[in-house]
Amino acid sequence: MRASERAYQRLREEILDGELAPGAPLGEVEQAARLGVSRTPVREAFARLEADGLATAASARVLVVAELSPESIAALYELREALEERAARLAAERRDPAPFLAVRRRIVAATEQLDGGADGLTEYYAAIAELDEAVDRAAGNPLLTAALRGARLHSARVRRLARHHPARLRRAADEHLLIVDAIIDGDASLAAHATHVHLHLSLRHALASIGGRSVA
Amino acid sequence: MRASERAYQRLREEILDGELAPGAPLGEVEQAARLGVSRTPVREAFARLEADGLATAASARVLVVAELSPESIAALYELREALEERAARLAAERRDPAPFLAVRRRIVAATEQLDGGADGLTEYYAAIAELDEAVDRAAGNPLLTAALRGARLHSARVRRLARHHPARLRRAADEHLLIVDAIIDGDASLAAHATHVHLHLSLRHALASIGGRSVA
DNA sequence: ACCCGGATTCATGTATACATTCACGCGCAA
DNA sequence: TTGCGCGTGAATGTATACATGAATCCGGGT
């Protein structure tokens, strides 16, 4: 694999996992040394991270890991609402239930294994990721999918911050199933509204979970 | 100014203006020679263009100017609908009429000069750009603004393709004024619906104007 | 004549050397 | 003591040399 690709994925993972904390400075030489590549691929990785919004220019010449304040989390969910609602609506209008029937089974199965520790959690998130992908495919709008990709990246950061109780995950699964069923039924309006409700509750849980502390 | 910045802006302008036609290959050495810089800043410019969606990887190692088919235009307007409607709604809810009163005057003045040739057209688009900026400010959501920036970039390409008759521009101005008035009145619902209508009509005009030919 | 395989070539991918600019700190003067 | 100014340094910005690998073209075989 290309060195720039490895550098990008590694840095992205570290930012999403919180190993690189919000506000942490990103120096080319430092990261190049740490990752074992030259500055050139690191520069490219930095550029992609900045385009993703995971890194921001603190001043003219210093790049830092993007902040993650309650305000920015609220803004993120506002954006996701606009995008996911539209995507869900388009998916429902498509009327191609087959992939969603498959996703539905996977979500149900994953929910039953939620007490199985870390593996259960991983499978749960994988199932949700498959739902996202199915929605993107059905929506059939590459630009929308690209915009959603960025928003979901940020959501992964939030997810790690907000420790998810099994109770919340179980309820979230129900919300997801309602969305899936609406899409299967071709009920675009319900798909959109159910998506809205899900995001609203997710945001409320996330903000409550981090308790207002700015994770800078 | 940095060479990479100049290269990016120049290439972006040329893509938006159509001088670099959709499908045109972007070679590092070629553009570096043409722009009078080394490959390094050109690489950075290419990366930004790809992040903007103005360039896409045709194969593993060749980058081309992004296509602009009727399908992608429709997809673009679908994305803009989702984003602009939300932004207009947020702006209306903010209830800070002052900047919109100013923009309103500017749009009205620009509309009256629409027969004044190229200058009138430039002023018209500048007024619309000011409206976009005012909406972004009022929405107060940096992520939403960033997503809109990308979508509006693509719209600039479409605009150049669809030769705009004065009649359409005058009508578009009316649509914009309705949006502005809704925001001034704090009528979020009307602002969103008026935005929807405007984008719908703009898309219809654009598609009719380019007559279904795929501008690849 | 057609197809397959390998060498060649050229664009990209990476590393590194050089240029530039900004920031920090030290020293001098008021 | 404090403020200004210059020098030094360390970072980024740029250029270029080198490595890699994919696409093409040619030659041999079927």
Q: Could you report the per-residue pLDDT of A52-110, keeping only the tens digit for each?
A: 999 999 999 999 999 999 999 999 999 999 999 999 999 999 999 999 999 999 999 99
Beta bridge partners of B65: B55
**Nucleotide C26 C1' to residue A41 CA (A):** 37
Q: What values do phi and psi take at B65, rounded to 5? A: -65, 135
Place of tokens 């619902």: B189
Place of tokens 């190229």: B118
Distance (Å, whole) CA A5 – CA A42: 9
User: Which pLDDT belongs to residue B117?
Assistant: 75
Q: Which nucleotide is nearest to B60 (CA to C1')?
A: D22
Determine whether the distance from the CB of A211 to the nearest atom of strand C is below 7 Å: no
Structure tokens given for B173: 């101005």
Quick check: B113 and B186 in contact, CB under 8 A?
A: no
Nearest CA distance, B185 vs chain A (angstrom): 22
Chain-wide mean pLDDT for chain A?
Answer: 95
A147's CB contacts (< 8 A; 6+ apart) are A83, B79, B83, B147, B150
Q: Provide the CA B57 distance to its chain's centre, in angstroms.
A: 22
Residues on chain A touching B82 (C-beta within 8 angstroms): 82-83, 85-86, 144
Residue type, A196: H
Q: Across the interface, do A78 and B85 touch by the CB < 8 Å criterion?
A: no
Residues on chain B touching A143 (C-beta within 8 angstroms): 53, 72, 75-76, 78-79, 151, 154
**Nucleotide C19 C1' to residue B41 CA (A):** 14
**In residues, how long is chain B?**
216
How far is residue A167 from each of residues A163, A164, B41, B53, B114, measured CA to CA in Å?
11, 8, 51, 40, 60
Residue in chain A closest to B44 (alpha carbons) equals A44
Name the nearest CA neighbour of A41 among A56, A52, A23, A28: A28
Enumerate the nucleotides of strand D whose atoms come under 7 Å of any protein CB. Answer: 11-17, 22-23
Place of tokens 């990785």: A45
**Domains of chain B, each with CATH number or no CATH:** 3-65 (1.10.10.10), 70-210 (1.20.120.530)
Distance (Å, whole) CA B36 – CA A187: 56
Structure tokens given for B191: 């602002």
DSSP state of B69: -
Q: Across the interface, do B72 and A142 touch by the CB < 8 Å criterion?
A: yes
Q: Across the interface, do A150 and B147 touch by the CB < 8 Å criterion?
A: yes
Nearest to B144 among A48, A78, A90 (CB): A78
B42's CB contacts (< 8 A; 6+ apart) are B4, B7, B28, B31, B32, B35
For a pLDDT cut of 90, what percent of chain A falls above it?
89
User: B151: buried, middle or exposed (CB in 10 Å: 19+, 13-18, 0-12)?
Assistant: buried
For CA atoms A15, A16, A17, A18, the dihedral sign is positive
Distance (Å, whole) CA A76 – CA A138: 23
Nearest to A147 among B43, B141, B147 (CB): B147
Residue A216 has pLDDT above 60, yes or no: no
Q: What values do phi and psi take at A65, rounded to 5? A: -65, 135
Q: Which nucleotide is nearest to B39 (CA to C1')?
A: D15
Name the nearest CA neighbour of A114 among A162, A168, A157: A168
Collapse the DSSP code of A140 into the 3-class scheme (helix H, G, I; strand E, B; otherwise coil) and give the result: coil
Q: Across the interface, do A79 and B44 touch by the CB < 8 Å criterion?
A: no
Determine whether the distance from the CB of B39 to the nearest atom of strand C is below 7 Å: yes
Q: What values do phi and psi take at B192, rounded to 5? A: -65, -45
Determine whether the distance from the CB of A177 to the nearest atom of strand C is below 7 Å: no
Q: Across the interface, do B90 and A82 touch by the CB < 8 Å criterion?
A: no
Quick check: B184 and B115 in contact, CB under 8 A?
A: no
Collapse the DSSP code of A65 into the 3-class scheme (helix H, G, I; strand E, B; otherwise coil) and give the result: strand
Distance (Å, whole) CA A55 – CA A26: 8
Residue in chain A closest to B76 (alpha carbons) equals A143
Structure tokens given for A86: 């539209």
Distance (Å, whole) CA B100 – CA B158: 26
Distance (Å, whole) CA A115 – CA A105: 18
Residues on chain A touching B43 (C-beta within 8 angstroms): 44
User: Which pLDDT belongs to residue A165?
Assistant: 83
Determine whether the distance from the CB of B175 to the nearest atom of strand C is below 7 Å: no
DSSP assignments along B145-201, one per residue: HHHHHHHHHHHHHHHHHS---HHHHHHHHHHHHHHHHHHHHT-HHHHHHHHHHHHHH
Question: Residue A164: which pLDDT band, with cuts at 50, 70 and 90?
Answer: confident
Determine whether the distance from the CB of B26 to the nearest atom of strand C is below 7 Å: yes
User: Which pLDDT belongs to residue A215?
Assistant: 55
Collapse the DSSP code of A55 into the 3-class scheme (helix H, G, I; strand E, B; otherwise coil) and give the result: strand
Residue type, B32: A
**pLDDT tens track of chain B, all 216 residues?**
899 999 999 999 999 999 999 999 999 999 999 999 999 999 999 999 999 999 999 999 999 999 999 999 999 999 999 999 999 999 999 999 999 999 999 999 999 998 877 788 999 999 999 999 999 999 999 999 999 999 999 999 999 988 778 899 999 999 999 999 999 999 999 999 999 999 999 999 999 998 766 555
